[in-house]
């Protein structure tokens, strides 16, 4: 199901009340074609309803900022930190939006299409 990013939180809130209480996976993908283009990311949420054993896939396209759903699904906390770390998407109202994997002084977000791997600074200044 494709929905607008502004309606995402409301939709997921409704789905959670309807029994989709588990967020099985949360995937981000960079959709931009060339480096000059505006940021465009596809977020895919896969939900699971243990009573009806049904899966629901929600897709939304965002530019750089979206409402955090970590208050609805506890497992989304790390997922959102990971996506912030690797893609640079900001999640509004996230309780602790810090990098999850990379060091805090790392520059850039490696999974973006416009990230230049050759310019990665490795090692840490002591």
Partner 1 sequence: MKNNSKNNMIINLGPEKPLNPTGLSISVELEGEKIVKCTPQLGLTHRGLEKAAQDKDFSQYLPLVEKIDYLSAFFYAQAYLSALEGLSGIELPKKAQYIRVLTMELNRISSHLLWFGAFLMTLGTTTPVRLSYKLRDEILNIFEKLTGGRMSHNYYVFGGVKHDIPVEFLAEISTCLSNINKELKTLENMAAKNPIFTSRTMDIGVLNTQNAFEYSITGVNLRASGYNLDFRKEKPYLVYNELEFPTPTAFEGDVYSRYLLRIEEIKISINLVNQCIDWLLANEREKYSLNIDQNDIKPSAGRAVTCTESARGLVMCCLSTDGNNKAKRLKWRTPSFYTVQALGRLVPGHTLEDLNVVISSLDIVISEADR
Binding site for partner 1 (CB under 8 A): 21-25, 27-30, 44, 46, 48, 50, 53, 73-75, 77-78, 86, 99-103, 110-111, 117
d(CA 107, CA 33): 22
Q: Smallest distance from the beta carbon of 32 to partner 1, in angstroms?
A: 12
Summary count for the chain: helices (H), strands (E): 2, 5
Q: Which is nearer to partner 1, 60 or 77 (CB)?
A: 77
Q: Which is nearer to partner 1, 63 or 101 (CB)?
A: 101
d(CA 22, CA 16): 8
Q: Which is nearer to partner 1, 3 or 111 (CB)?
A: 111
Q: Smallest distance from the beta carbon of 40 to partner 1, in angstroms?
A: 13
Half-sphere exposure in the Cβ direction for 36 (13 Å, CA): 0
Other C-beta atoms lying within 10 Å of the C-beta of residue 115 = 17
């Amino acid at each position: 199901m494709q929905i607008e990013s502004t309606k995402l939180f409301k939709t997921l809130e409704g789905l959670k009340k309807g029994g989709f209480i588990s967020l099985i996976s949360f995937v981000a993908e960079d959709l931009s074609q060339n480096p000059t283009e505006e940021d465009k990311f596809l977020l895919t949420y896969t939900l699971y309803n243990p009573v009806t054993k049904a899966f629901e896939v929600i897709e939304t396209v965002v530019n750089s900022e979206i409402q955090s759903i970590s208050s609805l699904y506890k497992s989304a906390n790390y997922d959102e930190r990971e996506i912030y770390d690797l893609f640079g998407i900001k999640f509004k109202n996230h309780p602790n939006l810090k990098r999850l994997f990379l060091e805090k002084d790392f520059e850039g977000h490696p999974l973006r299409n416009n990230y230049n791997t050759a310019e990665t600074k490795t090692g840490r200044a002591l």
